[in-house]
Structure 1
Amino acid sequence: MLILEENDAEYDRLVEAVGIAGREVTVIRALDASQLLLDARDGPPDLIIADRSIPPFDTHKGIQTMRERGVDTPIVVVANSLDGAAALQWIHAGAADYLIKDRLARLGPAVERALVAQALRLEKAEVEAQLSYVTNYDELTGLLKRSLLQDRLVRMFPVLKPDEHLAVHFLDIDAFKDVNDTMGHAAGNDVLKQVVRRLERAVGREESISRLSGGKFAVLQRRASMGEIVALAEHLVESFRPPLEVNDRTIFITASSGVSVYPEDGREVEALFRAADIAMYAAKDRGRNRFAFFRP
């Protein structure tokens, strides 16, 4: 907990009021507003009690500066006298409460309410972050889900130059069901994780990889020439060929890949995905372990 109070006697009263409330806290003192962010450099305090009369810590320079810098610490403001307009300004600016110093019996409950509210906000934010991750990322591999890959593809359409292309590579592990059936799903999951590491090495940081389902993946290749698209298609298929070590056994897998190109094969996401899927099955029909471009 951080207390912003320059008067020694008033500071002692605030510390005592918090203590009387029965909450054990470690108190840090700040003498002026410029110390607030400095004292929070190792992590913001759980709560700030601030004397509103210390310049320049006012509604505009205090809370606003902290919020702009991403510090969401609850702030309880204390004042020497009641000022209804100022209290409203503080609350609207983001203060958790506004108290009068001669009524510090309210400080303990105010601190408790502010901390509980903050804990609920943090819990809600954590749940929302977890839900966002589950919605957008594959739990097993950590790769993008289809919906997030589609979103990234849509965002690329308007920024392409006339001589640039986008490519969608669909890759499916050949006979992946046999791995699960003969070695078990745990072994199949191990294979998928090893495949992901190979794909990440193959495509580099600029491209996006998605797990679509089972042993099926998609790679979004951005701003590429046709020669670069062919080179990546070859490299992706080749990345599956080295042996894998699974359950103390050496196994070999291959993959078939289908490639669609924007804008030649479609100007919408679903058209490009459908074209890549058709091309992938064409590669399987031709004997697997290869890539094919979409042909209408």
Structure 2
Amino acid sequence: MNKDSKIYVAGHKGLVGSAIVRNLRARGYENIIGRSHSELDLTNADKVREFFKEQKPEYVFLAAAKVGGINANNKAPADFIYENLMIECNVIKAAHDSKIKKLLFLGSSCIYPKMCPQPIKEEYLLSGYLEETNEGYALAKISGLKMCQFFKKQYRDNFISVMPTNLYGPNDNFDLQTSHVMPALIRKFHEAKINNKPYVEIWGTGKPLREFLHVDDMADACVYLMENYDGEEHVNIGTGREVTIRKLAKIIANIVGYKGELKFDDSKPDGTPRKLLDVNKLNSLGWRYKIELEEGIKEVYQWFIKNYPKDN
């Protein structure tokens, strides 16, 4: 990419997209375009084709998606598979038809099998059954990844895919009904602290192991790969380090300053028992994460206090 290249970031207001925009601007890229959902419905093929025809982007970061935690995925699997498939199909096909120079598709580590060998290598994709609670979302993301591979194979389109681990950072979703574990815990502990609640209830046993990557590190890796990687195989993006949900909860409680009890509700689902990405390929390409977990959580908590919600 050149500094004046026209770059379209699909999903530019979300957690991932906004981080990519920040990183691009920090690197000197200024010709960045984005459209909110109200301005451009990516599930509408005609509108997407019109947008590409009018704007003529040269590079595309496909970060737009319908996302949510275990609860949201469990309750609306049809919505998750349909909306994500429509977004991916429309944007990838329009990018192909417009003959853009390069596209980067963002997937999710939930594409890998539930009982996958650890750490998870890129080659383990489609080697076993998926986690039931987010199967719809995972199938959509697998399809997007495969579309990029097939368009590259059949038409020589320079479409690449990345699979980030669990992300957190500014502009995250802190809605307790639809959020992922990190923002949900931050909000729960914050509200428990200001309301002097004696305990905080946490879903599951606390035993599952999870890997967390600050979204600014993820964005840096994406831009780095857009500039330096043209391979057919997708690339895992993560830290290669993991923590139990129980330990994560204790770290967040300490950062927030909550002194009450932590109660784990084992009647609620744990999800996949362990999900650690093998990041040797990414490291061999010359990129490593920079933001440590506690440092990143402190930063996000300060952002939360300033931005969300105002009455707390």
Q: TM-score, normalised by structure 2?
A: 0.30
* Larger strand percent: 1
Q: Which has the higher contact order (CA 8 A, sep 6+)?
A: 2
Q: Which structure is larger by alpha-carbon Rg, 1 or 2?
A: 1
